[in-house]
Amino acid sequence: MTQQIKPRGCRIRSLSGVLSLLIPAIFWLAPSCARASSPGYGDLPVTSQVVTSIAKAPHSGFWVQTDGDVSVISETLAVDGAPKYENVAVRGSVVAVPGSHGYWVVTPTGDLISRGGGVPVLCEGHLSKCSNFPSSPTKQEVLVAAAATPSGKGLWAVSRDGTVWTAGDAQHYGDARNEGVVTGIAATLSGNGYYIVCSDGGVFSFGDAVFYGSTGGKKPGGHNVTGIAVSIAADTKINGYWLVADDGGVYSFGDAPFYGSTGGNDGGSRVISIVSFPGAAPNISPQQTEGYAWVHANGLVESVYRPNVETTVVMTSRASGLVIDVSGSSRVAGAQLQQSVPKGDASQKWRMVKPVGNVNVVQFINVNSGLCMETPGQNVYNALIQSPCVVNAASQRWRVVSEASGDKIFLSELHPDWALSVNAGHAGSLILLWPYKGVPLPVISWIVTRAP
Tens of pLDDT, residues 313-345: 999 999 999 999 999 999 999 999 999 999 999
Q: How big is the CA angle at 221 (ends 218 and 226), to the nearest 5 degrees?
A: 70
Set out the domains of the chain in order of their start, with CATH numbers. 15-305 (2.120.10), 309-450 (2.80.10.50)
The answer to whether residues 199 and 42 touch, using CB atoms and an 8 Å cutoff, is yes
Beta bridge partners of 67: none
According to DSSP, residue 430 is labeled B
* DSSP H or E stretch at residue 238: strand 238-245
Question: What confidence tens digit (pLDDT) does each residue in 401-438 have?
Answer: 888 788 999 999 999 999 999 988 899 999 999 999 87
| Top-confidence range, 45-49, 66-70, 275-279, 313-317 | 313-317
Q: Using alpha carbons, select from 151, 157, 155 the residue that is nearest to residue 168.
A: 155
What whole-number percentage of the chain has pLDDT above 90? 62
User: Which positions ≥6 away from 421 have C-beta within 8 Å?
Assistant: 431, 432, 433, 434, 443, 444
* Contact between 318 and 447 (Cβ < 8 Å): yes
Q: Rounded to whole angstroms, how far apart are CA atoms 140 and 136?
A: 11
Neighbour count for residue 82 (Cβ, 10 Å): 23
- Averaged pLDDT, 6-24: 34
Say which residues have a Cβ less than 8 Å from residue 343's Cβ, sequence separation at least 6.
Answer: none
Q: Give, in degrees to the nearest 5, the angle at Cα 300 between 294 and 304.
A: 40
Number of H helices, E strands in the chain: 2, 31
222-272 pLDDT, tens digit each: 999 999 999 998 888 999 999 999 999 999 999 998 888 887 888 888 999
Residue with more model confidence, 153 or 60? 153
Give the pLDDT of residue 6.
Answer: 34
- What pLDDT, on the 0 to 100 scale, is given for residue 384? 96
Separation of CA 56 from chain center? 9
For residue 13, what pLDDT is reported?
27
Q: Can you give the C-alpha Rg of the chain in angstroms?
A: 22
Strand arrangement, sheet containing 193-198: 182-187, 193-198, 203-207
Give the model's pLDDT for residue 116. 95
3-state secondary structure of 198: strand
Q: What is the pTM of this model?
A: 0.68
Res 165 pLDDT > 80:
yes
416-444: string of b/e by CB count within 10 Å (b at 16+)?
A: bebbbbbeeeeeebbbbbbebebebeebb
Residue 280 C-beta-side C-alpha neighbours within 13 Å: 6
**Rounded mean pLDDT of 2-15?**
33
pLDDT for 266 equals 85
- DSSP letter at 413 equals S
pLDDT bracket for residue 309 (50, 70, 90): low
Say if CB 291 and CB 271 are below 8 A apart.
Answer: no
Which pLDDT score, from 0 to 100, does residue 80 have? 87
Predicted confidence at residue 29, as pLDDT, reads: 30
The confidence score (pLDDT) of residue 65 equals: 96
**Does residue 244 contact residue 297 with C-beta atoms inside 8 Å?**
no
Instruction: Give CA 275 to chain center in angstroms.
Output: 6
Per-residue model confidence (pLDDT) at position 44? 44
Q: Band the pLDDT of 308: cuts 50, 70, 90.
A: low
Average pLDDT, the chain: 84
Q: What is the pLDDT of residues 20-42, one digit of tens each?
A: 333 333 233 332 233 344 444 44
- What is the pLDDT, as a whole number, of residue 259? 81
Residues listed for the chain: 452
41-57 CB burial, b ≥16 within 10 A, e <16 = bbeeebeebbbbbbbbb
pLDDT tens digits, one per residue of 349-362: 999 987 654 457 88
Q: How far is Cα 232 from Cα 239, in angstroms, rounded to an integer?
A: 6
More confident residue, 80 or 163: 163
Backbone angles phi, psi at 124, to 5 degrees: 55, 25
Residues 6 or more apart from 13 whose CB is under 8 A from it?
Answer: 213, 214, 215, 216
Question: Could you report the per-residue pLDDT of 98-115, keeping only the tens digit for each?
Answer: 999 999 999 999 999 999
pLDDT digits (tens, 9 = 90+) for 111-159: 999 999 899 999 999 999 999 999 999 888 999 999 999 999 999 999 9
* Distance (Å) of CA 413 to CA 149, 380, 393, 403: 40, 12, 9, 19
